[in-house]
Amino acid sequence: MSNLSKQLLAALMVISTPAIPGSTALRTLTPQQGGSPEQASQARVQAYLIKEVRHELVMLPYYNLFDWLEYEVQADGTVILRGEVISPTLKADAESAMRRIEGVKQVVNQIEFLPLSPNDDRIRRAGYRAIYDENSPLFHYALQVVPSIHIIVKNGNLTLKGVVDSQADSDFANIKARGIPDVFEVKNELRVENSYD
C-alpha cells in the first residue's frame, strides 16, 4: 500500500461547526511528484467526498451542540459515521444524507443514540448555561449556528468536544463544566484551532 493510500485511509474528519478540522495531510501527487495519474485521480475524488460529507453533516437540521458527529472517508468510497446524538432521527438523517452523495459506495453508521435520561437533560441545560452565559468569555461561540463547543452527556458523564480559539478558552470551559452539580466525570476533548499536537 502506497503512502498516499495510507494517508487517505487515515483521514478522519471531526464535525464541529464552524471550524471543522480538515485533513491537512491529504495531498494530490501529480505524476511529476512521483504519483501515478490514478493516484492523483483517486485523491481528487476522495477530497471531493470529504468536502461533500462534511457539508451534508453540517447542514443536518437537527444537529446541535448536544450532538457530536465524526466521519471517515475511505479510499474505496466507504463513509464511516461515528459520534453520539440525542435524537434517533439525527442518526437516520445522517446516514440518509451520506447515501445521496455521488461517489459514496457504502455507509457504515456507528453513531450512538444517547440514552434518554431526565438527569442527563438537566446536566445538558446546566452545561449550556455555565459555558455560554452572556457574561462568559465563551459567549461568542454561542452566536454560531451550531456552537463549536459541544456538550455530550451520557449517564451523568460530561465530555466537551469541538474546537476553540485558544488554550485559555479550553481551560475555562473545562473549569465551568467541572462546576456543574451531580456530574460524575468531566472529560475535556476540546481541540485548539491550528494546534498540531
Q: What is the mean pLDDT of the chain?
A: 82
> Whole-prediction pTM value?
0.77
Buried/exposed 167-186: b ≥16 CB within 10 Å, e otherwise: eebbebbbebbeebeebeeb
70 forms beta bridges with: 14, 82
- At 99, the pLDDT band (50, 70, 90 cuts) reads very high
* Lowest-pLDDT range of 33-42, 88-97, 152-161, 180-189: 33-42
Is 70 exceeded by the pLDDT of residue 22?
Answer: no
Sorted by where each starts, the structural domains of the chain and their CATH numbers stand as 3-113 (no CATH), 118-192 (3.30.1340.30)
153 forms beta bridges with: 158
Cell 459541544: give the residue: 150
Q: What are phi and psi of 182, to 5 degrees?
A: 65, 20
Is 70 exceeded by the pLDDT of residue 24?
Answer: no
pLDDT number for residue 34: 53
Q: What are phi and psi of 69, to 5 degrees?
A: -120, 140
